[in-house]
Amino acid sequence: MENRIKTIAFRCNHDTITNLQLCIDQISYNIPCIIANMSGQYNVRCVFEKVINRLTYDDFILGELINQTSLEQLCIDEKSTIQLVSKKTDLPEFKIPFSLHGKFHVGIKIFRDIPVHEFPSMDVLPIPTEVITIYIYFSETSIKHKPKSSIFEKYFDAYNNLGFFLVDLAKMKEIITTNYGNQKLDLVHEFSNTEIIDKLFDQEIIMIIWGIHPYIYPIYSSDNIDLIHPLLGRKFQEEGIFNIDENINELSLIPGYELRNWPNFTKKVWPKISLKGKGKIVHLTPYILEDSDFNPILVSFLIHRSKGFLKESKPLLNVNLLYNFQQ
């Protein structure tokens, strides 16, 4: 898979992104205008794919489609150079290590992805919070359109230091009510000072991550790790791993700060994410998409099931996903 999909990432300003060019054998092709009134800094992800019949990634996985274009059919061989450059800027030239031979239709699609919610502390972050994805594909035949894939699911939002949790909300209500009655609770305090979180883990209904930097985090679910991996980057050295009842097919995705407001948050409608794959074990794994200097550009989470035995659930707690990585 990685031999036909390559991903690069960088941060840049408006001038750089509006001057991007795709260069093939020293002939330059302008990347179509992103958005005329864009300003500020952006996280940019460029995905290059040698297509076999159909594009690997559906539009909804990459964000809101804001522009697209097709180039004329181009002759490319093993000696051809494929580069992404930005004229009159200090962006490094990215050489794409593809081995192509033949006549190719070349398409370019531009996506913009913005988190569903933001919060005030996001304004003081020294790094941008919007993602631009440039999807450049090479195909020897016309691209076949396909219905929306069920291989992937994605939810993109911003979270504070209390992270997020995924839970069977109906069963959680039963357990909390049994142990506390109908009183109002700060479950952050209860999880930290009582055994109630262990009871939720024992019932195999909850996954949780706490202690992360406030930032934007796309969350994906897929049982095809090889297919999604090129989009996400490098697997982080730690992960959350949980026992989740195999009869549970989906969980509600809820920001961690809502735990301070039990039972009020149970009255809201929350997005749900399917648990794809087979087995009782469910992984919550961070992935880091880095630039050429190994600086993290985008941090994502991948959820998937696997078979095996897990003695007890292990939440992901107090991890530094933005500024300090082990190579």
Q: How far apart are CA 240 and CA 221, in angstroms?
A: 14
| pLDDT the model gives residue 172 | 98
276, two tokens: 């794809």
Segments of the chain assigned E as strands: 5-13, 20-24, 27-30, 41-50, 64-76, 82-86, 94-95, 102-113, 131-139, 152-159, 164-167, 206-210, 215-222, 234-235, 240-243, 250-255, 272-274, 281-290, 296-306, 316-317
How confident is the model at residue 95, as a pLDDT? 87
Q: Nearest-CA neighbor of 238 among 288, 166, 294, 196?
A: 288
Dump pLDDT digits (tens) for 191-248.
Answer: 999 999 999 999 999 999 999 988 999 999 999 999 999 999 999 999 999 999 999 9
- Per-residue model confidence (pLDDT) at position 327: 43
pLDDT at 24: 92
Instruction: Render pLDDT for 122-142 as a digit per residue (tens, 0 to 9).
Output: 767 778 888 999 999 999 887
Alpha carbon distances (Å) from 290 to 8, 171, 327: 8, 39, 11
Which residues in the chain show pLDDT less than 70?
1-2, 34-39, 121, 123, 144-150, 324-327
Q: Please provide the size of the chain in residues.
A: 327
- Cα-Cα-Cα-Cα dihedral sign, residues 12, 18, 20, 22: positive
Tell me what pLDDT residue 48 has.
Answer: 95
CA distance 94 to 150: 32
What integer pLDDT is reported at residue 2 of this predicted model?
Answer: 53
From the list 287, 5, 9, 288, the residue with the least C-alpha distance to 136 is 5
Q: Which residues contact 67 (CB under 8 A, 6 or more apart)?
A: 32, 33, 34, 109, 110
Q: Any residues with CB less than 8 A from the CB of 177 and at least 6 apart, and which?
A: none
Query: What is the pLDDT, as a whole number, of residue 326?
Result: 46
Across-strand partners of 222? 152
Query: Phi, psi at residue 193, to the nearest 5°?
Result: -125, 0
Task: Give CA–CA dist 85/89, Å, rounded.
Answer: 9
Each domain of the chain, given as residue ranges in start order, spans: 5-139, 152-317
191 CB neighbour count, 10 Å cutoff: 21
